Structure 1
Amino acid sequence: MKLAILTAYPPSKVTLNEYAYHLVREFRQKSEITELILLTDSTEESKKIDFLEEGCKITIKECWSFNSYRNILTVIKAINETAPNSILFNLQFMKFGDKKIPAALGLLLPLICKLKRIPTIVLLHNILEEVDLKKVGITSNKLLQKIYKFTGSLLTMLILKADVVAVTMRKYVDILEKKYNVKNVIAIPHGTFEVPQKPEFKVPKGALKIMTFGKFGTYKKVELLIEAVQIVRRMTGMDLEIVIAGANHPNTPSYLENVKRRFASVPKLIFTGYIQEDKIPSLFNESAVVVFPYSSTTGSSGVLHQAGSYGKAVIMPNLGDLALLVKEEGYRAEFFEPTSAVSLAKSIESIVTNDAYRVALGIANYEAASAYPMSMIADIYLDTFHDILNVSKVKNNCNYQVN
């Protein structure tokens, strides 16, 4: 099988590039794949394909750019040149741009591939039906929200023309089936990027690191975390370090710089900036707890799966999708009310003052993460492609007999 994957890819800063890296690494080792064709965004630096594992041939086609109006033309040209047997789209609604027209045009590509009779799976990481447009920084205008929702519904209908649409939560299957009257939506777990050997669940000596990881400024804001840790310091006298790991969200380009200025007097407040892939293990291993200071959710959480793979205790807001994800996949978390620094402080205190509890959460999360390694997720996608091909063969045979 010549499998094409349309995705952002490291060193890209476009969302979901890290997910693609780990999925590609697993696909490359599957014996039925003869060639992987990466239909990626353009970057100045070379694409990261420095896998230690041997595997199939990888062809890289940098054929689209964020906010480009020409992406349909350039991607279709790359598909025609490489002639893949199947295509997997690694998507969310702002994949191709944060401007309305380029974002919408890019999402027409799965339909075009279906019309070209190329077996197509869309991995859709979020659905607009479950996104709070105000909290994620798209728009607070009520009229514009209605327009976005209407346009999003039209685009979702077109995306659902793919052979299969995969979502990472069973709840999303129910929502899409009911609203759009379709039967080609399946739930495939997000998967865990790497599952190291079982950790010792120890933390380094010195200050306990309270870490958060992501792209900040929209629905992921760090002020609440900083305030909560200061409360815990006053209550317990403990030596705590706050680690803000990551960068600004594209919609809020100066957010973290403003936070730095506002909290310049707070001791042991670390801003790491963008974290390279090879620095992620040490980031998690050195942390005592991983906090999710979110006011909304947009689907499954890659950071939760990473935290689980390193055996970390996590603290999450008591929000619908995150709480449901924890329940569905067997994770354990300490929950807090998403607008209350006092509530978050109590959650942090309950973990940093109780080492046995911290370890128990870490063990449960490691076991949950170990249940869905990316190798298993890659197998599920390959099985799904085989199912699509088998259905296609049956239809072709039936048409032949009728004719």
Structure 2
Amino acid sequence: MKLAFITPYPPSQVTLNEYGYHLSQSFIGKKGIEKIYILTNNLEDNSQYSRYATDGLEIIPCWDFDSWFTVLNLKKKLKELAPDAVILNLQFMTFGAGKIPAALGLLTPWMCKKLNIPSVVILHNITETVKLDTIGMADSKLKGNLFLWIGEQLTKFILKADLVGVTISQYVTILKEKYKAENVILLPHGNFELPERNYVPEGSNKINLMAFGKFGTYKKAEVMIDAMEILQKKYPELEFTSTVAGTDNPNVKGYIDSLKNKYAHLPNVEYTGYIPEEKVSQIFWESTFVIFPYTTTTGSSGILHQAGSYGRACILPKIDDLERVVDEEGYGGAYFETDDAASLAQAVASLIDNPEERKKIEDQNYKAAKGLPMGELAQWYLSHIHTLLNQRK
């Protein structure tokens, strides 16, 4: 079987690049897989993809982020490669920060249908559960309603895929009830490869608060840094660091620079910039707590799974969607009131004062990360793909 993945892929900085990397890697060596193609976005220098080249997998940059012509470029490449099936790793901003290119790219599952190529989409978010104003998509009620309607129409095109997997049970319910979709399943997020366990040093006076991802829309680091200042006063004997691990969200360019200006008086705030895949482990291992400074969520959190893989305790906002995901997938953490620095500081303090509870959460998260390895998830995909292929015989 020749299998094509349409996904961002490291060192591309497009959201879901790490998930696309780990998911596609899990298919290498699986029985019946003859060839794996990664159809990813062009970089300024496509030779950078060679750093992630692997036997059994061919990386093919063939579309541009923020281009209006992505679906046409993908159509041309799929006709040329003629894969037996396509797996699409998608969220609503996969193909662009601009609304039009992002929307046009999401016609790709429908295009696969027109080419008669079996397709499976893993859809990481749906518009019905995202607060559009907080992710930079709508700054008024009128725009919000317009983009919700557009999102509904795009969802219908995505549902043209043979199978659509979503990572949260609530999403299955919404898509089945609202869109009368019969091709939607709960497809677990899966866990990245478990590294060797690296424990938080006991008795250390250094506390590193770390937030990971793309910042500026629904993920803002101010609440973490402000909480750190509160904690410094509460625990003068401890050394605190806030690590902002990542880059600007494409919709809010300049956000990290604005943080640097605002907190220039604090020497203990670190900004890592983009973190290549091979350095992710070090960032998590150097953290004491993984902070989730979210004001809303956009689906199942890959960072939650990474925190579990590295055995770290999470400090989480009280957001219904996120609490549901954490509970359903067996993770744990200390909770704070959304966008409330004092509440976040209190959540961290509760685990500083009770290290046994912190260690219990670390163990719980590491155990949850063992739940469904990507290798097993790949078998789920292959089982569904074989069913689709047999139905066409």
| Length-normalised TM-score, structure 1 | 0.93
Q: Distance in 1 between matches of 2:321 and 2:170?
A: 9
TM-score normalised by length of structure 2: 0.96
Q: Which residue identity is paired with 2:47?
A: S
1:18-55 alpha-carbon deviations (Å, 9 max, x no partner):
11111121111212210001111111142546569x75
Q: 1:239 is matched with which residue?
A: 239
Amino acid corresponding to residue 223 of structure 1 in structure 2: E
Which has the higher mean CA deviation after the structures are superposed, 261-270 or 220-229?
A: 261-270
Distance 1:204 1:354 in 2: 12
Q: Give 1:158 shift.
A: 1.3
Residue correspondence of structure 1 range 287-366 to structure 2 within 5 A: 287-366=287-366
Answer yes or no: is the 8 Å Cα contact 1:203–1:288 preserved in 2.
Answer: no
Q: State which drifts further: 266-275 or 245-254.
A: 266-275
| Partner SS for 2:38 | strand
Deviation at 1:369, TM superposition (A): 0.6
Distance 1:100 1:268 in 2: 37
Q: Deviations over 1:95-127 (max 9, x none)?
A: 111222222221111112112221110111110
Report how far residue 331 of structure 1 moved: 0.3
Paired position in structure 2 for 1:149: 148
Q: Quote how far apart the aligned CAs of 1:392 are.
A: 2.7
| Cα drift, residue 139 of structure 1 | 1.4
Task: Summarize the alignment of residues 215-294 of structure 1 with structure 2, pairs less than 5 Å apart.
Answer: 215-237=214-236, 238-294=238-294
Q: Does the 8 Å CA contact 1:203/1:287 hold for their aligned counterparts? A: no
- SS at the partner of 1:247? strand
Contact kept? 1:203, 1:285, Cα under 8 Å = no
1:82-106 deviations in Å (ceiling 9; x for gaps): 1100001111111111222222221
What secondary structure sits across from 2:135 in the alignment?
coil
Name the SS of the counterpart of 2:192 in structure 1.
Answer: coil
Contact 2:39–2:61 under 8 Å retained in 1:
yes
| Aligned partner letter, 1:350 | S
Kept in 1: contact 2:10–2:276 (CA 8 A): no
Contact between 1:29 and 1:55, CA under 8 Å: does it hold in 2?
no
- Name the % identity: 44
Cα offsets for 1:238-264 (capped at 9, x unmatched) = 221111111111111111111111111
What SS does structure 2 have at the residue aligned with 1:27?
Answer: coil
Cα deviation, 1:32-80, whole Å, max 9, x if unaligned, reads 210001111111142546569x753x23322110121221221111011
SS of the counterpart of 1:215? strand
Q: 1:290-315 deviations in whole A, cap 9, x for unaligned?
A: 00011010001011100000100000
Contact 2:46 2:61 in 1 (8 A): no
Matched residue, 1:17: 17
Partner of 1:166: 165
Q: Which runs of 5+ in 1 are unaligned?
A: 394-403
Q: Match of 1:33, SS?
A: coil
Q: Which amino acid aligns with 1:70?
A: F
Matches of 2:190 and 2:65, distance apart in 1: 26
Could you say what secondary structure the match of 1:273 adopts?
coil
Question: 1:202: Cα distance to partner?
Answer: 3.3
CA distance in 2, matches of 1:335, 1:201: 20
Q: Distance in 2 between matches of 1:391 and 1:90?
A: 23
Contact 1:9/1:47, CA 8 A, preserved across alignment? no
Q: Where does structure 2 lack aligned partners over 5 or more consecutive residues?
A: none
CA contact (8 A) 1:204 1:286 kept: no
- Return the offset for 1:205: 4.1
| Aligned AA (1:387) | T
Q: Is 2:109 the counterpart of 1:133?
A: no
Q: CA RMSD in A?
A: 1.6
- For 1:235, give the aligned amino acid: K
More displaced stretch, 370-379 vs 304-313? 370-379
1:170-185 to 2 correspondence within 5 Å?
Answer: 170-185=169-184
Q: Check 1:148–1:158 CA distance in 2 against 1; reply closer, same or farther (3 A cut).
A: same
2:96 maps to 97
Instruction: Give the whole-Å Cα distance in 1 for the aligned partners of 2:360 and 2:227.
Output: 23
Counterpart Cα distance in 2 of 1:60 and 1:275: 20
1:196 aligns to 2:203 (yes or no)? no
Q: Distance in 2 between matches of 1:221 and 1:60?
A: 33
2:297 & 2:67 partners in 1: Cα distance? 27
For the 8 Å contact 2:49–2:59, the answer to whether it is kept is no
1:46 equivalent to 2:44? Answer no
SS in structure 1 opposite 2:132?
Answer: coil
Q: Kindly indicate whether the alpha-carbon contact (under 8 Å) linking 2:231 and 2:349 is maintained by their aligned counterparts in 1.
A: yes
* SS of residue matched to 2:165: strand
Residues 1:51 and 1:138: Cα distance change in structure 2 (over 3 Å):
closer
Preserved contact between residue 11 and residue 46 of structure 1 (Cα < 8 Å): no
Counterpart code for 1:4: A
The AA in structure 1 aligned to 2:36 is: L
Contact 2:293-2:339 within 8 A present in 1 as well: no
Does the 8 A contact of 2:191 with 2:372 survive in 1?
yes
C-alpha distance in 2 between matches for 1:273 and 1:314: 21
Look up the SS of the partner of 1:135 in the other structure.
helix
Aligned residue number for residue 120 of structure 2: 121
